[in-house]
Structure 1
């Protein structure tokens, strides 16, 4: 019996059928048409759908393994990097063992790009790509589920509410992560549920308690189990924050109305915005496997946070937002002028929130040093 069938990524023998379902999905085909064909043609579905389907069959018709899927994804990602970043850089990967499976725990700034860029770096360094944890809140649309599971994503059942149902789902997730690592498959998971909206990157101890559920079953001490997982913190830094305005809108709405309820399709819009907007220089810093400071979930959270905060790459905009620009960049520099221009384009009521989003990493580093 396949005890992880409802949450795991697709296996090779399931790829061809999943691709066929994607090509047959009108919503998916229409999305491709919208972003790749002239508007007048995309709107004429009796023409656009056959054109898109023929193109998809040419490109994906012979794909029948997860590796082939990921090699196709690399081409798309290279295009995104070329079109929407000035550069993507990495540090720390050269210090990791190419033959070791790791549990990468990172800060979370973009829904899909964060793990995609982790995978891109691993691929460039001839390391195996990761299995990616995604919340089931993202899987309300069939084609999203297909795409994610084709690309080595596994499902975190956030929708479970009853205590017994939650414990069962979390125990299954904990065991799946452990078994994946034991089988040589690295894992990526965000340090907490949802993206950082205010720039305050902080690991949720509840995530680490979930990891320990399987360790408890094995009757292992927390620190012993953590060392076995080979946890590597990853710090992701975007020069221009993806979806900064929509993040600020969410914070603003919560502040003035008490809660924020996402509209239908909002996550998909955020994914598309993350893919298409200019991100400038992006840096990913890979830390070292956690060996100490991990006696409790709270201790481990602090240890992970320390690595993420200390290795976070600060761009000029971070210093400018934190009012430290004079010490780092000339007030007449291109960076200052471009950042100021970006800030002026933000609605006035959201400007302070976006400024705080950029300033927070500088302030967190200062707090860490004191």
Structure 2
């Protein structure tokens, strides 16, 4: 809805002009895990997290230059037809809500899941439900990565990191 604030025309005209193309970017390893882990752990423990000086800059730098493993970028077609179909639905709030849901579905459908996502889900839930999507070697490699990152943190850190990696799979399952 905020994207349409400067539009002086109708819903369809304004959102068509934006030429919305959902994109997803996925990678095996998040180079910002060490930053995110501290923040997520503080939140889980009910503590206020205060960023260190230059932490945002260091996050951006790490995201650009540090190891990510395999990377997948998916750019979907413009949502012109979908916006046209929404034009006759309800009020502006309902249209904006449905458009946001369309964008989310497109992103989740195109998001590439890697072995780490499946292994994290199984490790988190102590199951082998997704075992066909990763080998034992890949699972052990991922577990070593998790254990290395969580060293020196309380046990809750491991669960937080596993959940972070499992979340894209969980979202994908919700979308059907």
Is the TM value for this pair above 0.5? yes
Gaps of 5+ in 1: 1-208
Q: What is the deviation of 1:260?
A: 2.2
The whole-number CA distance in structure 1 between the counterparts of 2:103 and 2:117 is 21
Aligned to 2:164: 357
Give the CA RMSD over aligned residues: 1.7
Q: What is the deviation of 1:342?
A: 0.4
Does residue 231 of the first structure (1) align with residue 20 of the second (2)?
A: yes
Contact 1:329–1:336 (Cα < 8 Å) also in 2? yes
Q: What is the deviation of 1:259?
A: 2.9
SS at match of 2:16: helix
The whole-number CA distance in structure 1 between the counterparts of 2:61 and 2:146 is 22
Q: What is the deviation of 1:261?
A: 2.6
Gaps of 5+ in 2: 88-94, 123-128
Aligned to 2:99: 300
Contact 1:253–1:259 (Cα < 8 Å) also in 2? yes
How does 1:1-370 map onto structure 2 within 5 Å? Answer: 209-215=1-7, 218=8, 220-291=9-80, 292=82, 294-295=86-87, 296-323=95-122, 324-331=129-136, 333=137, 335-347=138-150, 348-369=155-176
SS at match of 1:241: coil
SS at match of 2:43: helix
Q: What is the deviation of 1:230?
A: 0.8
Q: What is the deviation of 1:258?
A: 4.4
Aligned to 2:91: none
| Structure of greater relative contact order (alpha carbons < 8 Å, 6+ residues apart) | 2
The whole-number CA distance in structure 2 between the counterparts of 1:229 and 1:271 is 27
Contact 1:238–1:282 (Cα < 8 Å) also in 2? yes
The whole-number CA distance in structure 1 between the counterparts of 2:47 and 2:30 is 25
Aligned to 2:125: none
> Could you list the per-position Cα deviations for residues 171-216 of structure 1 after superposition, in whole angstroms to 9, with x for gaps in the alignment?
xxxxxxxxxxxxxxxxxxxxxxxxxxxxxxxxxxxxxx2211111x
SS at match of 1:336: helix
SS at match of 1:346: helix
The whole-number CA distance in structure 1 between the counterparts of 2:15 and 2:74 is 21
The whole-number CA distance in structure 2 between the counterparts of 1:259 and 1:303 is 34
Give the ranges of 4+ consecutive aligned residues of structure 1 lying more than 4 Å apart after TM superposition: none
The whole-number CA distance in structure 2 between the counterparts of 1:223 and 1:354 is 41
TM-score normalised according to structure 1 size: 0.40
Aligned to 1:184: none
SS at match of 2:77: coil
TM-score normalised according to structure 2 size: 0.81
Q: Which has a greater percent of strand?
A: 1
Q: Which has the larger radius of gyration?
A: 1
The whole-number CA distance in structure 2 between the counterparts of 1:290 and 1:276 is 32
